[in-house]
Structure 1
Amino acid sequence: MAESARAAPPRWLVLAAVAGIGLNLRPFLTAVGPLAPAIRGGTGLSYQGMAWLTLLPMLLMGVGAFFGPAIRARLGARTAVLGALALLGAGCALRLGVAGGAWLIASAALCGLGVAVVQAACPGLVKQEFPARVAPVMGLYSAALMGGGALGAQLSPYVNELAGSWRDALALWAVPALAALALAWVALPRGPVRQPASAPAAPSGRPPSAAGKTRALLRRPRTWLLMISFGVMNGGYASLVAWLAPFYQSHGWSAPASGSLVALMAVAQAAAALLLPALAARRLDRRAWMALALAMQVAGFAGLALWPDAAPHAWAVIGGAGLGGCFALYLVVALDHLPDPDSAGALSAVMQGGGFLLASLAPWITAMLQARTGSFAAGWWYHLACAAVVGVLTMRLDPARYGASFALPAPAGCARQPG
């Protein structure tokens, strides 16, 4: 027991690893938008083709998240995260030598697979290692994720100008991914995931498999509510990452200036992702803060659609804060629904899986609306409507109903007893 205690990494080091991992999950996406003209010129990709650089990774994040619990159960969270970071680093490094659009899209797919596994494993890991501090630690993870997106958008245009190559600017992000891999190797706890005493057993007496948990969760209406809300809301983030910089470049902005705007949006996301879960931690009912975040999204998209040149920095900050806060709060709410880390992590993975499948369509929808109307404004109106719909769905997330949402059904023929 003493040897096990000595081997346990200190809490601050685990927190640093969580933050370092989060920082690497978005730069490969946010670096693309500010470099869109250079990438289009070098590859011949159209706007619809460029949409695949965001669509495909998010699609794979969604598909991969469904397999995340099984990977975590078989390999353990530590091994799964280490392998995923290696995959992410390899995908970024391969961009150094891409010859055309197809290879660039393939590298985006490799990065998306790595991120999918990390996003499926990290929430359960947080619930396991910080059971009494889930909201603030998930806020740290979400803030780091959004902050990494800011770095990708801000630095990539300058690297492109210094190196004279958009390929170098995209491949740069292999370096922090490998650094996060080294930190995670040292900091993440070793050994199998601790099984909670209260984990439900299958009828045979054995704990349910990861696939069995996923199937059981998909039979619950609450799981679908979380997936749809999370996915429709995150579609706004996917479209802004893909098209905010090209939108303002069409208004005469330079690549570095438009990249700075995307970075500002991501910084606002990070700040809200850190702040709102901490404020919402005082009560289990997070709906008021989620409604605030969704209202900010509505305001941000309305500003982009109606008055894009009046206050672009304000729209980026308001919309980004709404998206970042809502992202983090939905991760927290998913973990709130179930008491043990394994089941809560499985629900979070399923929510992210279905959610990212939906969100992946948003950049393509926005590109199609732009092709039909000649303006990105139609896409901003679309996302404004999406935020309003998610606001209605979010009001159903009453914590008093969390237990009932995932309660086992009564056996057939058994009458419910009074009291």
Structure 2
Amino acid sequence: MQETGARRPRRVVWLLIAGVALAALNLRTAITSVGPVLGEVTAGLHMSAALAGVLTTLPVLCFAVFGALTPALARRFGEHPMLAAALLAIAVGVGTRPLADDPWLFLALSTIALAGGAIGNVLLPTLVKQHFPDRVGALTTVYTTFLALGSTLAAAGTVPIEQAGGDWRVALGVYALFALVAAVPWLLVLRHGPQRSGSARALGLGQVLRTATGRWSVLFFGTQCTIAYILFGWYAEMLRDSGMSAATAGLALSYLTGLSIPLSMVLPGLMARTRDHRGFVVMFFGSYVIGVAGLWVAPIQGVWLWTTFIGVGMATFTLALTFFAVRTRTAAGTAAMSATSQSIGYLMGGLGPFLFGLLREVTGGWHAPLALFLALVVLNLAAGLRLGRPGHLEDELGPGAAAGAVSPEASRPAR
């Protein structure tokens, strides 16, 4: 990252690294903090079952809508101001929604927080590519690790905070402090500029979808998102229905999601060192198949082994996020591929839990839903094998589009 041809001060580089880590830590807290106290929230707000359904569906809708809008907003206001504003939106939404006594106001304030998370989802991979093009693997490791850490901390910490304070409102509102701290590095970075993207020409959703790489990225991200939301919504319930206690089933789900932390620490760096990533895709596919096969025949007897294999398979989320950087040459390409894949992918993800639950209700068992799950895993494999081949999005756009997407900053490493 440079300014008027001079080297950036080292303190600014460290501000950027801290900013990436702290921002990633906050992108999921508005979501994962609600699930553990959902019963208390709906009871405290006298929320109907229909509105509770809206609350649980709101994250994927916000991620889709605001994720699609992010590139245009970044072109208008600049990536750095938009990310700072996104973190402040998370702080405002998370901090004020516990004060609401009306369920609709709670949903509106949740939308503000989730909009901030959606914008951050798209901007962070872009800023990593823009400021650290020669260290994409290392900085993507920071980003994905802290994203997983924040998700796990909010999921695991909300109930203890609620029990210690005796109020779900305090337990939900405390995460606003984390978002306020995360905004500080980006507000300080604004003093050093640049505040706007240096790209001469942005890439649109249509351009991305006209490329094979863009379409396969959408399918890969969408299928892994669908798989993840099915597991988040139904894994514990499936284990409880098979005879496991509620507490142990919750612990298994926490273990399942927590496995993403160590995997996030190593996977992006490994991907940055190789051009062909199909081996990773096959490895995670095999892990999913073993885990699901175990659940099919002996769900409780080997539950921790099956949970481990499925948790390893869920590293496809880190794989999908890293693809945004390693399958593009420029920050503009990363932004476009990230926004397109996430906006469409999260809409796909929202359908997964509904279809899984519908199959469970229609058939009365778990084999049909697990068959749907396996079909999604196979589709994810097919998309991943194509996306894992060496290549870049810009190479499929033609010389004019690719050249226009090049940002002066994107071609220069941080100093």
TM-score range, shorter chain: 0.7 to 0.9
Is residue 368 from structure 1 mapped to residue 368 from structure 2 by the alignment? no
Work out which of the residue numbers 241, 244, 247 in structure 1 matches 2:232. Answer: 241
1:206-245 equivalences under 5 Å are 207-208=200-201, 210=202, 213-245=204-236
Distance 2:306 2:50 in 1: 25
1:18-167 equivalences under 5 Å are 18-42=20-44, 50-99=52-101, 101-167=103-169
Distance 1:11 1:236 in 2: 36
Q: Residue 231 of structure 1: CA displacement?
A: 0.8
Is residue 176 from structure 1 mapped to residue 178 from structure 2 by the alignment? yes
Change (3 A) 1:82 1:105: same
1:171-210 equivalences under 5 Å are 171-187=173-189, 190-193=193-196, 195=198, 207-208=200-201, 210=202
CA contact (8 A) 2:79 2:123 kept: yes
Amino acid at match of 2:378: A
Distance 1:376 1:20 in 2: 39
Give the alignment's TM-score, normalised by structure 2: 0.84
Q: Residue 392 of structure 1: CA displacement?
A: 1.6
> Which residues of structure 1 form unaligned runs of 5+?
197-206, 411-419
Distance 1:252 1:315 in 2: 14
Q: Residue 274 of structure 1: CA displacement?
A: 2.1
The residue that corresponds to 2:339 in the other structure is 349
CA contact (8 A) 1:366 1:376 kept: no
The residue that corresponds to 1:264 in the other structure is 255
**How big is each residue's C-alpha offset from its partner over 1:297-340, in whole Å with a ceiling of 9 and x where there is no partner?**
333444445433234444443323322x2122222223233312
Amino acid at match of 2:385: M
The residue that corresponds to 2:406 in the other structure is none
CA contact (8 A) 1:25 1:115 kept: yes
Q: Residue 85 of structure 1: CA displacement?
A: 0.8
Distance 2:48 2:288 in 1: 28
Q: Residue 275 of structure 1: CA displacement?
A: 1.4
Amino acid at match of 2:198: Q
> Which residues of structure 2 form unaligned runs of 5+?
401-415
CA contact (8 A) 1:195 1:342 kept: no
The residue that corresponds to 1:309 in the other structure is 300
The residue that corresponds to 2:287 in the other structure is 296
Amino acid at match of 2:142: L
Identity, % of aligned positions: 26
Distance 1:6 1:135 in 2: 21
Q: Residue 47 of structure 1: CA displacement?
A: 7.2
Amino acid at match of 1:232: T
355-364 or 5-14, which moves further after superposition? 5-14
Tell me how large the CA RMSD over aligned residues is. Answer: 3.1
Distance 1:15 1:293 in 2: 29
Distance 2:49 2:363 in 1: 14
Amino acid at match of 2:324: A
Q: Residue 50 of structure 1: CA displacement?
A: 4.2
Distance 1:170 1:104 in 2: 12
Q: Residue 162 of structure 1: CA displacement?
A: 2.0
1:270-289 equivalences under 5 Å are 270-289=261-280
Change (3 A) 1:378 1:178: farther
Give the alignment's TM-score, normalised by structure 1: 0.83
Amino acid at match of 1:226: S
How many residues align? The count is: 396
Q: Residue 23 of structure 1: CA displacement?
A: 1.0
Distance 1:269 1:246 in 2: 21
**How big is each residue's C-alpha offset from its partner over 1:101-154, in whole Å with a ceiling of 9 and x where there is no partner?**
544443432222111111111111000111011123112211111111110111
**SS in structure 2 at match of 1:144:** helix
CA contact (8 A) 1:214 1:350 kept: yes
Q: Residue 361 of structure 1: CA displacement?
A: 2.1
Change (3 A) 1:2 1:66: closer
Distance 2:358 2:310 in 1: 22
Distance 2:394 2:74 in 1: 27
The residue that corresponds to 1:413 in the other structure is none
Distance 1:398 1:242 in 2: 29
Is residue 14 from structure 1 mapped to residue 16 from structure 2 by the alignment? yes
CA contact (8 A) 1:42 1:100 kept: no
Distance 1:233 1:119 in 2: 16
1-10 or 154-163, which moves further after superposition? 1-10
CA contact (8 A) 1:300 1:319 kept: yes
**SS in structure 1 at match of 2:204:** helix
Amino acid at match of 2:224: M
**SS in structure 2 at match of 1:87:** helix
Change (3 A) 1:278 1:108: same
187-196 or 227-236, which moves further after superposition? 187-196
Distance 1:129 1:34 in 2: 37
Change (3 A) 1:312 1:149: farther
Change (3 A) 1:249 1:105: farther
